Structure 1
Amino acid sequence: MLPKQPLLDAIGQQHTVALDANTRIVSLVPSITELLCDLGLAHLIVGRTGFCIHPAAMVKAIAKIGGTKDVNIEKIRTLAPTHVIVNIDENEKPTVDILAEFIPHVIVTHPLMPSDNPELFRLLGQIFQAEEAAEKLIQEYELANAELSQHSSNPPERVLYCIWQDPWMTVSSDTYIANMLKQIGWTTWAPADAKQSYPVFEWSEETLRPIDRILLSTEPYRFSETHVDALEKQIGKPVQLVDGEMLSWYGSRAISGLRYLKQLAQN
């Protein structure tokens, strides 16, 4: 049975249920690849990026087609996909425009809030006829969210979330990461004049003054405890290593991400 509500992606494009048995998906988004696998759709994925590493056992046999931003167009063409799934932040629009010339269905994603995840589960579940699996994930998400909301709130904190060094980069308040951290009362600092989602910043007394704690993410830059120790000695503020996948990956990883937030709030 076709869904009553239109299947609209992040830019308002309407999609239809993939009824063809020859459905072939290329995913250019690591967290979406994981979500598709958790929806039981791994057998439909014919291409993925090199950053699509979860779940490892399932993605191992899926062809790599470059990175999220340096996509191998010709390799994708040879895979003859019927669908490609992209993300506004992670993939370049000129690349997506080229792919749209020969791939019939381009599904655009752009979750900005943790609460956007159930809609994403339902959209992909309906398009690829995995409604039951999608509803199960939605229930798991809602349970994890309820458990987090029952956690007693800690005093609000201002955090500096670092995703890169040389140059140092952070996240703006309108990103998925920032909105995840808001679930436990942590607001992110970014330069006042920042016009990008992931702005560059410099360390200074002015930067550090309003900051309660610095968070070093394990991705995309591979910060480690060694970086934590060195930075803490340098700036004299609390520095903490956090799991970047748990805080930046949407899709099914968001369920574990909410539980991870609860752990952070308790530390």
Structure 2
Amino acid sequence: MSMSRVDAAGVEHPQAGEHARIVSLVPSITELLFALGLGDRIVGRTGFCVHPREAVRAVPKVGGTKAVKLDAVRALAPTHVIVNVDENEKPTIDALSQFVPNVIVTHPLTPLDNLALYELIGAIFKCETQAQTLAHALSSRLDAIASESWPEQQVLYVIWRDPWMTVARDTYISAMLSLVNWRTWPAVTGGFAGADRYPTFDFDMPGFATVGRFLLASEPYRFTAKHCVELAADGRLAGKAIQLVDGEMLSWYGSRAIEGLDYLRLLATEAR
């Protein structure tokens, strides 16, 4: 069966040769590449690409997801650079396209989109069998969650403080949580790659009382038990469940999404 090699920007990429040189500027994609058996082709990564921990240590860093060192990328002579619409800035992507033969753009917005992501990477780098194995594993988790009944609850997924920030409903995180009928508050959308995809909020906003569960993510801000104690002492949060959650499990796509769905199901089961 033919697999699609068309990326999120609508560009169809040719199949890569055996000597492809890949720079990944997306942490979850870096992990996915290793899961697909492509570790020996990865020649560059960001400092935030930390999984799989032992394997990535041997891969040179080229800056961060936002602060990409273009000269460092150029020096690695990559045949392919993999980017993401949310995590990498458009001027950087445009600059890379001037000297990298293949800039592969990704933009999964829901857990289901991982199936297309596996297919894309599998088709370009000729690892279709490994990609299909991941697809079967992901599909089984999605089916298992869909087969259960989950009570609806308004949740606030917190990613930052000073200012307080959360996620819009058209983000991957919100789509992930909706699988167990957890509806992120506030009910706003940020638009395609819009700045409002991660809106600020405060505890005095209209509708805040409807939030039943406060989810403090471990990334990008590292919330700890100390923050749970502080928030529990705030009268405006009286009666709300406050808990720490693994941000990687709930926000990383790629191969991590499979384990992430197991994690989400456990969280929702314990809360039910």
CA contact (8 A) 2:170 2:189 kept: no
Alignment partner for residue 7 of structure 1, among 5, 8, 30?
5
> Which residue does the alignment assign to 1:238?
241
SS in 1 for 2:233: helix
How does the TM-score come out when normalised to structure 1?
0.95
Q: Distance in 2 between matches of 1:177 and 1:119?
A: 18
TM superposition shift of 1:207: 4.7
Aligned counterparts of 1:105 and 1:37: Cα–Cα separation in 2: 19
Structure 1: which amino acid aligns with 2:264?
Answer: L
The two structures, once aligned, show a CA RMSD in angstroms of 1.5
Q: Which amino acid aligns with 2:183?
A: T
> Take 2:189 and 2:32, find their aligned partners in 1: how far apart are those partners?
35
Whether the 8 Å contact between 2:109 and 2:175 is mirrored in structure 1 is yes
Determine whether 1:135 maps to 2:132: yes
- The answer to whether 1:46 aligns with 2:49 is no
Q: CA deviation at 1:203?
A: 1.9
Q: Distance in 2 between matches of 1:193 and 1:185?
A: 17
2:259: which partner in 1? 256
CA contact (8 A) 2:168 2:188 kept: no
TM-score (norm 2): 0.93
Deviations 1:67-112 (A, max 9, x none): 1000111011100000000000000000111111000000000000
Kindly indicate whether residue 70 of structure 2 is the aligned counterpart of residue 73 of structure 1. yes
| Corresponding position of 1:25 | 22
Q: What is the CA-CA distance between 1:232 and the residue it aligns to?
A: 1.6
Equivalent position to 1:183, from 179, 198, 211: 179
Consecutive unaligned residues of structure 1, counting only runs of 5 or more, are: none
* Shift of residue 226, structure 1, vs aligned partner: 1.2
Letter in 2 for 1:253: R
Deviation at 1:260, TM superposition (A): 0.7
Q: Using the alignment, how far apart are the partners of 2:131 and 2:4 within structure 1?
A: 17
- How far apart are the structure 1 equivalents of 2:140 and 2:7? 25
Match of 2:250 in 1: 247
Superposed CA offset, 1:197-253 (max 9, x none): 001112216352111111100000000111111112112222111110011000000
Q: C-alpha distance in 1, partners of 2:32/2:115?
A: 11
Judge conservation of contact 1:6–1:15 (CA < 8 Å) in 2: no
| Equivalent residue pairs, number | 263
Task: Label 1:172 to 1:56 Cα distance change in 2 as closer, same or farther (>3 A).
Answer: same
Which residue does 2:141 correspond to in 1?
A: 144
Distance 2:120 2:109 in 1: 16
The Cα of 1:161 is off from its aligned counterpart by 0.6
Contact 1:158-1:210 within 8 A present in 2 as well = yes
Identity %: 52
Name the structure 2 match of 1:160: 156
Counterpart pick for 2:56 among 56, 59, 70:
59
Q: Is the 8 A contact 1:219 1:244 kept in 2?
A: yes
Q: 1:16 aligns with which of 14, 17, 38?
A: 14
Q: Is the 8 A contact 1:191 1:201 kept in 2?
A: no
Q: Is the 2:3–2:119 contact (alpha carbons within 8 Å) kept by the matching residues of 1? A: no
Kept in 1: contact 2:189–2:196 (CA 8 A) = no
What letter is aligned with 1:35? L
